[in-house]
Amino acid sequence: MVARPRLTPAMADVRRAIRDTWETYGVEESDTLVIACSGGADSLALAAASLFEGKRAKVNVISVVVNHNLQKGSEEIAEQAKTTLMELGFETVEVVKVKVVVGSIGMEAAARHARYEAIDDLAKRYGAKYSMLGHTLDDQAETVLLGLARGSGPKSIAGMSALSADGKYLRPLLGIRRETTVAFCVDSGIKFWQDPQNLETKFSRVKVRLNVLPVLEKELGPGIAGALARTAEILQEDNAYLDAQADIAFHSSAKTTNKSVVLDVEELFQLSPAIRNRVIHNALVLLGAEPSKTHVDSVSSLLTNWHGQKPLTLPAVRVVRTGQEITLKSTKTLKPGAC
């Protein structure tokens, strides 16, 4: 059994972040929360602090450990994480094995997709209000840099939010440095796993962590990670406003039918490009697509550079302009009520 240590600054900071997040997003007595835990310092600090605060607030805290089975000894690592969580005092811990199907999206994205599916399934089974993830300020800084490098646009550069867009996930530690979660575990006497893949620079995120950020800190001075995280916060506020305006514009300019969205050319033309492109993006997503900027620009060209083009065939969607209407029609089977 892990002995109860004295309160240290790192422990206080992590616990405070949990309390503040719960208060902000309406976690109440008798709610159930799922803590996703890998056995690393970030997720174990999140788990231990959540369990402590949960007992005080009478919040039911359970945990899930996802075994991706991507490296040698993964089953033993997952079981050790479960053992540590049980020693901390968790009554409910489930280890879930997932199959990572790489396909065309890459291993990191495929693993993330499988992991989130497993977390969602467990949250649904236990009626959880939220699932909690251990992403830190350092993770946020890495995400922003990767978004910049890939030219992914403001939504990518805005990084991760404390509450995910779908309302399922809380990230209480986005204001906490990785060194603080490590200190939390050391101060608490919690043994954590150090993933050897975090040293493998074949992964883009690891390259940013080990090679890019240290150079920026050296050449531009300390505080780069914090500055990148603040950039994400500013962009999140801007994106929230633009997205709200785009929703209003969508409902004004779009007619949705079974498997199709019809956009009014004249109303679209009056919109600023920032709002117009979001309207088009929303229409494509509604029809089951995963649109890139190129896809959105192709549809926009039917409005801004119209000269009788043939219909566009995009992944999952066919787009045609007829007179003053642009019709987007799904070419895949949609879930009932999607449109």
Does residue 135 lie in a domain region?
Answer: yes
Tens digits of residue pLDDT in 111-131: 888 899 999 999 999 999 999
Look over the chain and give the mean of its residue pLDDT values, rounded to a whole number: 91
Are residue 51 and residue 190 in the same domain, yes or no? yes
CA–chain centroid gap for 36, Å, is: 13
Are residue 118 and residue 190 in the same domain, yes or no? yes
Of 190, 220, 250, the one marking the end of a domain is: 220
What's the rounded Cα separation, in Å, for the pair 43 and 41? 6
Please state the domain count of the chain.
2
What's the rounded Cα separation, in Å, for the pair 328 and 261? 5
Are residue 206 and residue 289 in the same domain, yes or no? no
Does residue 325 lie in a domain region?
Answer: yes
Instruction: Label residue 1 by pLDDT band (50, 70, 90).
Output: very low
Tens digits of residue pLDDT in 314-338: 989 999 999 999 999 998 755 545 5
Enclosing domain of residue 100: 9-220
Does residue 212 lie in a domain region?
Answer: yes
N- to C-terminal Cα separation, the chain: 53
Angle, helix 41-57 to helix 9-24, in steps of 10 degrees: 60
Are residue 101 and residue 172 in the same domain, yes or no? yes
More confident residue, 243 or 200: 243
CATH number at residue 316: 3.30.465.60
Cβ–Cβ < 8 Å for 251, 271 = no
Of 164, 190, 220, the one marking the end of a domain is: 220
Using only the alpha carbons of the chain, give its radius of gyration: 23
Kindly report the pTM of this predicted structure. Answer: 0.84
Return the closest-CA partner of residue 248 out of 209, 298, 223, 282.
282
**Tokens in use for 59?**
């919040």
Does residue 247 lie in a domain region?
Answer: no
Does residue 66 lie in a domain region?
Answer: yes
The dihedral through the CA atoms of 128, 17, 199, 196 has a sign that is negative
Does residue 233 lie in a domain region?
Answer: no
CATH number at residue 59: 3.40.50.620
Are residue 306 and residue 192 in the same domain, yes or no? no
Are residue 179 and residue 78 in the same domain, yes or no? yes
Of 198, 220, 242, the one marking the end of a domain is: 220
Are residue 201 and residue 296 in the same domain, yes or no? no
The pLDDT score that the predictor gives to residue 246 is 96
Does residue 231 lie in a domain region?
Answer: no
Are residue 324 and residue 205 in the same domain, yes or no? no
Are residue 20 and residue 93 in the same domain, yes or no? yes
Percent of the chain with pLDDT over 90: 75
Are residue 193 and residue 296 in the same domain, yes or no? no
Beta bridge mates, 330: 317
Does residue 106 lie in a domain region?
Answer: yes
Are residue 80 and residue 128 in the same domain, yes or no? yes
What's the rounded Cα separation, in Å, for the pair 136 and 176? 5
Report the pLDDT averaged over residues 77-106.
89
